[in-house]
Amino acid sequence: MLNRRVVVTGIGVVSSIGIGKDDFWKNLVNGKSGISEIESFNTSNYGTHKGGEVRGFDSADFIDKNKAKNIGRATQFAIAATKLAISDAKMNMSSIPKDKIGAIIGTTMADSQRLEEMDKTWIESGDDKVDPGLVPQYPGNAISMNVGFDFELKNMVAAIPTACSAGNYSIGYSYDLIRTGKADVMFAGGADSFSKIAFTGFNRLFAVAPEKCQPFDKNRKGMMVGEGAGVLVLESLDNAKKRKANIYAEVLGYALSCDAHHMTAPSSEGITRVMSKAMRNAGIEPKDVDYISAHGTGTPANDKAECAAVKEVFGPRYKDIPMSSIKSMLGHTMGAASAIEAIICCLVITDKIIPPTINYETPDPECDIDCVPNKACKKKVQVALNNSLAFGGNNACLVVRKM
């Protein structure tokens, strides 16, 4: 069996703090918040009114307008992020056989806004008034399917709907396909758009903070619902060298675990297991890790469990490893979250600077990690871990290394 090395050569981001790598990274490092009053629907009947909505996104910048009107916002984000990643990778698509290129895109809600449109029409006007064109737009596979159509991809094209871990799952699966020779290039990541369904659900779980997300703060009150997309170009090292591509980082390995514990409450044991397994699969030890991109949702239970797991895995060294949460700035971008966080791991390695956890005010003895509070720090990073922890206990941890 082949065991090819896999590298990241392109990055594309659509987020509430910037569209495109450069604006996103500049604002992230500067600690800019992407949280604002929600504009996409009326929140007057809700207890909270803020979220991480993407402003200034024009689908016409990336997609033909006739096509754009027939696809949902999450799919538009995914296509835009893929185009940005291809451009960043300086990849000539015509030079690579399409049967050697695929796409794996993760999601939580898919294009649920289209489902909302269908339901509204159905309830108000009857099922015979529902636009049949909406039917193929909301299933989870619509996102990856349309990415495949847009770039005429002939290799594996699939969606992974493992909620908040979906981005890491997608990167891991893409890594396996390239490593074993089943593909040469993969577009891997995640996408989700802001929806009333997601906002309602998290509010009913009493998991949404009223004003700001404060990961690891003693007085944290919950997460913020967000939206966006992150896509990475993964390719074999040989392919990248052949075309003299810029390499951000090497994917060393990943791991998956299931808590088998509770639908919404995390288990520190499951998180411990996935981090330990990821490092074993990557051939590294805890002493090799220089940075952890935290799942860090800002909910009391999640942050406590993740910190407990980090202490278990890294022992006394846990305080020496910077571990920041960018959800403090973006909110929780659902299926896009760990893909965007994998992107920051690559940029941390490249630029030797770690983004902060903003809104940090009061230390919590149970979360006494170095969360890089409020201000970015400079640090040389050779190896980074990317944690993602989803509902149902679906955990994923990705390991990347400087080339």
Exposed / middle / buried, residue 277 (Cβ in 10 Å: 0-12, 13-18, 19+): middle
Report d(CA 4, CA 208) in Å as an integer: 43
Dihedral of the alpha carbons of 18, 22, 26, 29, in degrees to the nearest 10: 100
How many CA atoms, within 13 angstroms, populate the side-chain half-sphere of residue 113?
15
How far apart (Å, rounded) are the C-alpha atoms in residues 291 and 379? 9
Set 213, 332, 371, 397: catalytic member: 332
Report the SS3 class of residue 381. Answer: coil
The pairing of beta strand 291-293 with beta strand 323-324: parallel
- Decide: helix, strand or coil at residue 11: strand
3-state secondary structure of 266: coil
Q: Is 332 a catalytic residue?
A: yes
What is the β-pairing status of strands 383-390 and 291-293? parallel
Phi, psi of 104 (to 5 degrees): -125, 115
CB of 251 closer than 8 Å to CB of 19:
no
Nearest to 192 by CA among 223, 227, 146: 227
Active-site choice (213, 295, 307, 371): 295
- Dihedral sign for Cα atoms in the order 200, 203, 205, 208: positive
Residue 116: exposure state from Cβ atoms within 10 A (0-12, 13-18, ≥19): middle
Distance set, CA 319 to CA 295, 316, 372 (Å): 17, 7, 11
CA–CA separation, 182 vs 186, rounded Å?
A: 10
Please give the span between the terminal C-alpha atoms of the chain, in angstroms, as a whole number.
24
- CA triple 94-97-103, angle to 5 deg: 95
Indicate if 371 belongs to the active site.
no
Known catalytic residue at 164:
yes
Inter-CA distances, 183 with 7, 39, 95, 106, Å: 13, 41, 15, 18
Among residues 178, 29, 207, 37, which one has the least CA distance to residue 96? 178
CB 6 within 8 A of CB 235: yes
Q: Determine the length of the chain.
A: 403
Point out the residues that are catalytic: 164, 295, 332
